[in-house]
């Protein structure tokens, strides 16, 4: 990003970040696995201010329970390069049956995985930071 582009970036308010998170269905979870960052696209739902998704037992993502993670959604227009992105930083936690009411709560969310597989585990990212940026687009004639 050049200095002139950076100066045009609009910082999104917390409420706007939450609104966008509530509208989207697919995002990307990032965890450090084996010392390297790994990106996993997931479909998710926003539950209050937490991001809930499902994982298959035995996967790298599933093994990342309680790890630091971040989550990203975005939408960009490739013609005028306008768009926005929202990133949540937080900690992953698995919501299993031993969590009692929390387990019943996440299972009742409208969260049908797009892919097959058991997707038997419910994970949620509890953000401690939520940041959003919007790019107003560029004049292609400049």
Partner 1 sequence: MALVDVDRNGLEILDRGDCLRLLACTTLGRIAVTSGGLPVILPVNFLLDDDRILIRTSPGTKLDAATANAVVAFEVDAMDSFSHTGWSVSVTGMSRQLTDPSDLDRVRTLPLARWAPTPGEHVVAISTDVINGRRIPEGHRVPGSA
Q: Judged by CB, which is closer to partner 1: 37, or 48?
A: 37
**Closer residue to partner 1 in complex, CB, 13/75:** 75
Least distance between partner 1 and beta carbon 133 (Å): 9
Check the CA dihedral 75-76-82-84 and report its sign: positive
Would you tell me which residues interact with partner 1 (CB under 8 A)? 1-3, 6, 25-26, 28, 30-32, 35-39, 41, 56, 68-72, 74, 76, 78, 81, 83, 85, 87, 89, 112-117, 138
101/110 with CB nearer partner 1: 110
Cβ proximity to partner 1, 100 vs 117, nearer residue? 117
Q: How far is the CB of 96 from partner 1 (least distance, A)?
A: 21
Q: Least Å distance between CB 50 and partner 1?
A: 17
């Amino acid at each position: 990003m050049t200095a002139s582009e950076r100066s045009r970036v609009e910082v999104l308010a917390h409420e706007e970040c939450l609104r966008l998170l509530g509208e989207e269905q697919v995002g990307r979870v990032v965890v450090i696995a084996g010392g390297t960052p790994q990106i996993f696209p997931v479909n998710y739902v926003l539950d209050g201010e937490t991001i809930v998704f499902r994982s298959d037992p035995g996967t790298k993502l599933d093994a990342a329970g309680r790890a630091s993670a971040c989550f990203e959604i975005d939408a960009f227009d490739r013609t005028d390069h306008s768009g926005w992105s929202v990133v949540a930083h937080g900690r992953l936690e698995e919501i299993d049956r031993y969590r009692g009411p929390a387990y019943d709560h996440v299972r009742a969310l409208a969260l049908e995985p797009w892919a097959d597989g058991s997707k038997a585990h419910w994970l949620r990212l509890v953000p401690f930071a939520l940041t959003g940026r919007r790019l107003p687009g560029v004049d292609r004639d400049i």
